[in-house]
Structure 1
Amino acid sequence: MTNNPTIKIHASFLPHTDPEASLRFYRDLLGFEIRLDVGYEGMRWITVGPPGQPDTSIVLTPPAVDPGLTEDERRTIGEMMAKGTYATLVLQSDDLDGLFERLQATDAEVIQEPMDQPYGVRDCAFRDPAGNHIRINQAP
């Protein structure tokens, strides 16, 4: 083993409340590939990822399935998801304005139109069908 092992992001988890709506958003609107689609005891986990990046995935998971959560915690998670404050994903596009126009032409909820941020990034923001905050940066 080396002193400085390579570390990559393999997967990140986002909650979803409607698997079909999530598929329409991530597969049909964003163009992500479906890597896995697994059902178990009435729940469904969908793994998606950008084409050409097979080592990086997003697992769309039912919210609050951890058996260690209390009912109050589950309720809080649901409330935060509804407000779009529970989870955030930052993506990058080589055509931010074109992607924004394509998403805006659908029923995707726009949070922020493309703009130049004071910290040097041009970005926009949407909510996915579960309320997750999705920011999209313009690639350098």
Structure 2
Amino acid sequence: MTDHVIRTIADRDRLVSFLAGLDLSKPRKIAITEIRSQRSDAQNRLLWMWNNAIQKHLADSFGQFASAQEWHEILVARLWPCEVRKVAMPGPAGGEFKVGRAKTSGFTQAQMAEYLDLLDRYCAEHLQLLLPQPEDLMLAIYGQRRRVA
């Protein structure tokens, strides 16, 4: 069986007709899942432009040296709460470790827009950094030029 996407009333009606014609003497399993729109390419480009700007700013202004990827890890962990669980390592050297962090690669477009807004505000309020807002990316992400409060 293949996956089918339902976008219109006609798609839904076609599925209902299909279901109505099924042979009920044989058990069937049906799964319906919502299609989650992944973050857009424009959002990803803006995120990494900002991560690089943050890395440069923190090195130049505060002498804090880490890669853009490392700052990304730190800022996602700080700004986007996720379930963190403890894992115990067996053996004599054992110990408990916290694991878990939200992965922006799995964010929907709405989640990514929210994260970008959080990141933009955090940088302005706590890092004394106004992040670049390129017109083409702002239009692609928000549909219009975003007004910063």
| TM-score normalized with structure 2 length | 0.27
Mark the structure with the bigger radius of gyration.
Answer: 2
The structure with more helix, counted as a fraction of residues? 2
